[in-house]
Structure 1
């Protein structure tokens, strides 16, 4: 078992969505329930900005033209991570009421993929959307219960996707030129009691790294064979997402959460809600920015 180390003792209610901005050496991550966007300077190993946003924030990605793009409960926004200035970009047509955005990530062409989930846990109310660089929004998958991790293979020919309650990691053939997906199949399945797959990333060898909510850590799978290759221990039961960062893309940053954990259980995991880092022997793939 490999061990992750504490980077920030944030005690976040619901830490999520780490993404690496190589332009300024910063890792962005969000605290969904506390409606906060954090900027962490990887070289200096310190938080350099924490801004409040008007509603729950599901995910953040760098924007190629500067700043970031985020998803709030009512849609996509351009956001200045230093000041919190927001510009509304759009909200998907036909979104079901009583849902919020959750995880999201950009593909290599600069499309921002982000999905939703029900606020009260009703299954099948969410969907997966794609914000194109021209700011049009497509609905790609419907009847999703808790849209979560996204990743692409190094050759961009496969997209991986997680709807957490299914406990499965799905793969789709991916057309980078059009953003179309096809040929769904299961490439990994979580069988650990009480755990579900949450956020996800991919490394340069094409292996997937999946955060286990309820599983105290990260698992690395070979999506071609389904073989479990590595367990990374995190001292937080609700590990929520992960992203490679740093100048050599060999630092795996991991978010976690405290929400829903009893005081008795928190006493045994005082670092829950922290931001953690694992020094990897394998390099990750870049975080792509939004192209619009």
Structure 2
């Protein structure tokens, strides 16, 4: 089903690799990262102001906490960013023995556990981890190339995970109490397509919205894995999306300019910018880290 969405370019960011949008419903702010420029950004839709925090290294994902700080998944570990002092405090180092890897997408579940995965392009040496509020670290999945686009169904019975380079979207059974995942199966197989599943978000009806790297679009799948809608974008490399706004009906979309030729940039002039699309659907709340 093709719907004519109104695409609004809300921030001329020109990010190298914009990613990881997180909606803060308490302040009505959108946090997002520019991975290779080592920046965490705080965007205020009401004013259009964007405040950047240089965190000194790549930052693939962020999560809200209960205080004035964010949790970050950086190159080879987790750290806290104090939003008042801009101080970065390391928490735990992971995959330091894999210098070609870096941490990528991540989110918190309802129980306040932070899920995050690594990227190992060209290799199957990436993994998915869960960092719990008690400070323990769990390995949830291995043998990935680029762990990406994770999320949970509204009833929390299903967990979704993308492996971008393999062009696979996976679904798992999810136990909300123990935090365990099981019964991995292919949810959507995009093998052979010219684009790759990147970051995702899920609405209150259980539909999965996926940014398609090199696809010029965000595609919406129903819980059966059937494509039901598509948002055409003016950028070649949308990277991730999340619902925000006062009523969680605004879909915010990040994008990238990294790795593009001059010819591609000419065709995709707004690459790296931040976009917003008003929808008639409601997103799910954002959960933060409980530690």
What is the deviation of 1:238?
Answer: 0.5
Cα offsets for 1:205-238 (capped at 9, x unmatched) = 01100000010110000122x2111101111100
Partner of 2:20: 17
Distance 1:15 1:281, change over 3 A: same
CA deviation profile, 1:241-260 (whole Å, cap 9, x unmatched):
00111110001100000011
**Counterpart in the other structure of 1:237:** 236
Aligned to 2:203: 203
Out of 252-261 and 81-90, give the one that drifted further. 81-90
Output the CA distance in 1 between the equivalents of 2:215 and 2:249. Answer: 23
Match in the other structure for 1:287 = 286
Aligned to 2:99: 97
Say whether the 8 Å CA contact 1:13–1:31 is kept in structure 2: yes
When normalised by structure 1's length, the TM-score is 0.94
1:57 aligned residue: 59
Structure 1 spans left out of the alignment, 5+ residues: none
Structure 1 Cα separation of the partners of residues 10 and 215 of structure 2: 20
Equivalent pair of 2:33/2:40 in contact (CA under 8 Å): yes
Q: 1:178 deviation in Å?
A: 0.9
Q: Distance in 2 between matches of 1:185 and 1:175?
A: 16
Find the residue that maps to 2:36 and give its secondary structure.
coil
**Residues in 2 aligned to 1:205 and 1:63: alpha-carbon distance in whole angstroms:** 26
Shift, 1:91, TM fit: 2.2
Regions of 4+ moved over 4 Å: none
2:243 & 2:85 partners in 1: Cα distance?
A: 25
Distance 1:78 1:143 in 2: 28
TM alignment of 1:123-162, pairs within 5 A = 123-162=123-162
CA distance in 2, matches of 1:140, 1:68: 23
What is the 5 A alignment of 1:1-292? Answer: 1=3, 2-47=5-50, 49-92=51-94, 96-118=98-120, 121-190=121-190, 193-224=193-224, 226-292=225-291
Give the secondary structure class of the aligned counterpart of 1:177: coil
Is residue 166–residue 191 contact of structure 2 (8 Å, CA) maintained in 1? no
For structure 2, the 5+ residue unaligned runs are none
- Distance in 1 (CA, whole Å) between partners of 2:81 and 2:40 is 10
Distance 2:192 2:237 in 1: 13
- CA RMSD across the alignment: 1.5
Instruction: Report the count of equivalent residues.
Output: 288
